Amino acid sequence: MRAEIICVGSELLLGDITDSNTRYLALRLSQLGIDLHYSTTVGDNRARLVDCLSRALGRSHIVLTTGGLGPTDDDITREAIADLFGESATVDETLARALREFFALRGIAMTSNNLKQASLIPSARAVPNARGTAPGWWVTREGRSVIAMPGPPGEMQHMWENEIEPRLQRSDSVIRSRTLKLFNISESLVDNLLKPITPSRNPTVAVYAKQDGIHVRITAKAANDAGALEAIEPVESDVRRALGEFIWGSDNDTQESVVAALLTSRGTTLAIAEAVTAGHLTSLLAAAPGSESFLRGTLITPRLDGASANEEDCVAMARHALQQFGADMGLAVVGCAVEGTDEPMNEIVVAVVGPSKERVTTGVYRSRPHRVRTLGAYYGLHELRRALSSD
Amino acid sequence: MRAEIICVGSELLLGDITDSNTRYLALRLSQLGIDLHYSTTVGDNRARLVDCLSRALGRSHIVLTTGGLGPTDDDITREAIADLFGESATVDETLARALREFFALRGIAMTSNNLKQASLIPSARAVPNARGTAPGWWVTREGRSVIAMPGPPGEMQHMWENEIEPRLQRSDSVIRSRTLKLFNISESLVDNLLKPITPSRNPTVAVYAKQDGIHVRITAKAANDAGALEAIEPVESDVRRALGEFIWGSDNDTQESVVAALLTSRGTTLAIAEAVTAGHLTSLLAAAPGSESFLRGTLITPRLDGASANEEDCVAMARHALQQFGADMGLAVVGCAVEGTDEPMNEIVVAVVGPSKERVTTGVYRSRPHRVRTLGAYYGLHELRRALSSD
């Protein structure tokens, strides 16, 4: 089964906004085993949109559109679909009533323009939009479908997950993947270590450099979930054998969620001293579930990044934070630029202290100045996780 | 003049990565006054890419491709362009020599695959790539051009700015815009206040809700820069008259850059106490130019968000931070959820204190829990800016 995406909106072609809908839909389709050969962006122009729709329907089984369902004259997706199928849209009384109630409830005046959003052609079925005023359209003709969804990602994703995906005729195969996440190892080293042990076709193994480290993604295509997971399993074991010491999580794990789960399960409280990371580490960790129960406080002294970054000072800072906030553990991250190299290098020192023990490490990273805050934050979380895991 | 973009890469159609090249190129083209009617994404498939290229060249004067210029068999943009023009690619000795030097300098073995990147068809001119190994291709036939650029955004943007844009035949019009940035006012109120005073065609006025507030963008099309700026000027004056008290900056300003400039120009140092924002405010401000000279330190006490957020405590926290870090000013942001409402609401209190005066304000914002950190940080910066401006 083949699908195709058409994103509608002149704002996308003026560079006003970045399109995130294509990536979202591409990922969902690939997980369903539905092939995606093209995605097209077109402006708010009825003739050009009809042209795109017609070509798409000629080569794909499912045509998904996003955008152009608003109440203004610029919104032309409904009109273009009506043109495509040679039908006329009329106001649907059930949809119009729902729309009037929506506006009355909010005490907002409804304009006649809004009635556009209650219109349908005879072949279209309205798709409920729980997050906005524009229902989607679903038109099926001779086994092929055009499905029109709203442009705002929150509305579109909610509609896709609740109204569209559950009703799509399943493909005869599924694609599943497992992502292993690593830190403190380079992308090229991962690549070299994996090359001899990974198959080339199914499953495939891909390596990505991300802000929180290196991600290794194993992807399998099979007749069903069980088959895909069975194909992934031996490859995952091989990768874990080769790179286990660098792996800190998988799939939806983040470094902060892994550390937060460890602190929560142990009932350990934490105090932080940040120099080079200037609040970025605390900000990340505070967004993790349960952080209010273990985060005792943070002291940021931005001026410390400058001069020196020695291990002794770093341990002293961690211990000072632990005492000031009365926590079980103290974490400190300091750093400085390394002099005398051609490329920008940063030295980052991390100390983790408990009441009776301490651990301090220094890492040297190639990075531009603005990246050092992010890098330092992940390095700090990495060392904290190692300290917690080795207890 | 009409342009069209074709992004090449199966990873884009599997949802592995978000395409940011389209937005970048769309913005640059609109600033040049070149119309963009379509942008298409296609996978690593030679026949499908030739089909897209052929259609694009039939309806647009300039066809820009990104991606598919790597050394592997999956990279098929060069081959597809050769097919399109019915020419054969051969290795260009000058390009091959440069490539060999690139690898030798880095001590990396060059594979025969890499020679693909030194190939050209007779009609193509190589476009230097200062950031990578893949040169671009520029082919002109009968007044129409196909320009192939690499996919990685850093390489593509550098090539565009240095090699492509300066050599494009200028359009007979330019598009220029001015963005005014506001805080503490709703998008719909801005919309209503602007409606009676804004023209509908040229310049156009658009309103966007962003994380740091509301942006009002005035865009004019004219024969040249001076004409566009002249058309923007009276509209900008009207917007400033209507909304001046909410405007904190324009164009590339950020709230943190505006505050940083004020603190730097006055030689005022700052200490911060963060509760609800958990380091996010300091992290933003530390990224602004000159922050190392005015940021004295921050105290984060995440547990304060919970119970209460009264103005007295907030002032006390700001004063405590000012004293602990020996700064000229103290800024504190605390917050709590508002009970008994249907929608999630947050109360945010901001205090700004100096040696002899203080200022404290409370705002109530509709927001989901994860948004309150960002909102609180911008609200804190906003109040700090107001305090600095009113001195």
The pLDDT-based confidence of A307 (bands split at 50, 70, 90) is low
Same-domain pairing of A156 and A266: no
Type of residue found at B195: K
pLDDT digits (tens, 9 = 90+) for B248-300: 999 989 999 999 999 999 999 999 999 989 999 999 999 898 998 999 999 99
The pLDDT-based confidence of A370 (bands split at 50, 70, 90) is low
The pLDDT-based confidence of B1 (bands split at 50, 70, 90) is confident
Ordered DSSP codes for A42-64: E-S-HHHHHHHHHHHHHH-SEEE
Peptide bond between residue A199 and the one before it cis (omega within 30 degrees of 0):
no
The pLDDT-based confidence of B305 (bands split at 50, 70, 90) is very low
The pLDDT mean for chain A works out to 89
Q: How many CA atoms lie within 13 A of A370 on its CB side?
A: 5
Same-domain pairing of B80 and B227: no
Contacting residues for A85 by C-beta, under 8 A, at least 6 apart: A121, A123, A139, A141
Same-domain pairing of A6 and A94: yes
The pLDDT-based confidence of B196 (bands split at 50, 70, 90) is confident
Which tokens is A142 given? 């001779």
pLDDT at B346 over 60: yes
Same-domain pairing of B91 and B155: yes
Measured CA to CA, the distance from residue B63 to residue B21 in angstroms comes to 14
Is A291 part of the contact surface with chain B (CB cutoff 8 Å)? yes
Same-domain pairing of B241 and B275: no
Asked whether the beta carbons of residue B282 and residue A278 sit closer than 8 angstroms, the reply is yes
Same-domain pairing of B92 and B228: no
pLDDT of A305 reads 46
Shortest CB distance from A282 goes to which of B15, B296, B300?
A: B300
Q: Which residues of A149-163 are buried (b: 16+ CB within 10 A; e: fewer)?
A: bbbbeebbbbbbeeb
The pLDDT-based confidence of B30 (bands split at 50, 70, 90) is confident
pLDDT digits (tens, 9 = 90+) for A138-184: 999 988 999 999 999 989 999 999 999 988 876 677 778 899 999 98
Is B27 part of the contact surface with chain A (CB cutoff 8 Å)? yes
Contacting residues for B38 by C-beta, under 8 A, at least 6 apart: A13, A40, A41, A42, A48, A52, B4, B5, B56, B59, B60
What CATH number is attached to the domain comprising A20? 3.40.980.10
pLDDT digits (tens, 9 = 90+) for B173-186: 777 889 999 998 87
* Residues of B whose CB is below 8 A from A299: 297-300
* Residues of B whose CB is below 8 A from A301: 297, 325
pLDDT at A8 over 60: yes
Measured CA to CA, the distance from residue B351 to residue B365 in angstroms comes to 17
Burial class (CB in 10 A: 0-12, 13-18, 19+), B338: middle
Of B217, B250, B283, the one marking the end of a domain is B250
Asked whether the beta carbons of residue A296 and residue B280 sit closer than 8 angstroms, the reply is no
CA B370 from centroid of its chain's CA atoms = 22
Number of domain units in chain B: 3
Same-domain pairing of A130 and A152: yes
Full-model pTM: 0.73
The candidate with the shortest Cα–Cα distance to A179, out of A227, A256, A239, is A239
ipTM: 0.70
Higher pLDDT, B66 or A289: B66
Asked whether the beta carbons of residue B48 and residue A38 sit closer than 8 angstroms, the reply is yes
* Residues of B whose CB is below 8 A from A306: 292
Beta bridge partners of B189: none
Is A17 part of the contact surface with chain B (CB cutoff 8 Å)? yes
Same-domain pairing of A63 and A95: yes
pLDDT of A40 reads 98
The candidate with the shortest Cα–Cα distance to A127, out of A77, A195, A178, A185, is A77
pLDDT of B70 reads 86
The three-point CA angle B292-B296-B301 to 5° equals: 120
Same-domain pairing of B333 and B232: no
pLDDT digits (tens, 9 = 90+) for A179-208: 999 998 877 788 888 888 877 678 888 887
Of B110, B139, B167, the one marking the end of a domain is B167
Of B115, B147, B167, the one marking the end of a domain is B167
Same-domain pairing of B232 and B87: no
Same-domain pairing of B192 and B229: yes
Same-domain pairing of B226 and B259: no
pLDDT at A303 over 80: no
Is B21 part of the contact surface with chain A (CB cutoff 8 Å)? no
pLDDT digits (tens, 9 = 90+) for B41-80: 999 999 999 999 999 999 999 999 999 998 877 889 999 9
Percent of chain A with pLDDT over 90: 61
Which residues constitute the domain of residue A192? 174-250
What CATH number is attached to the domain comprising B289? 3.90.950.20
Is A206 part of the contact surface with chain B (CB cutoff 8 Å)? yes
Beta bridge partners of A65: A6, A148
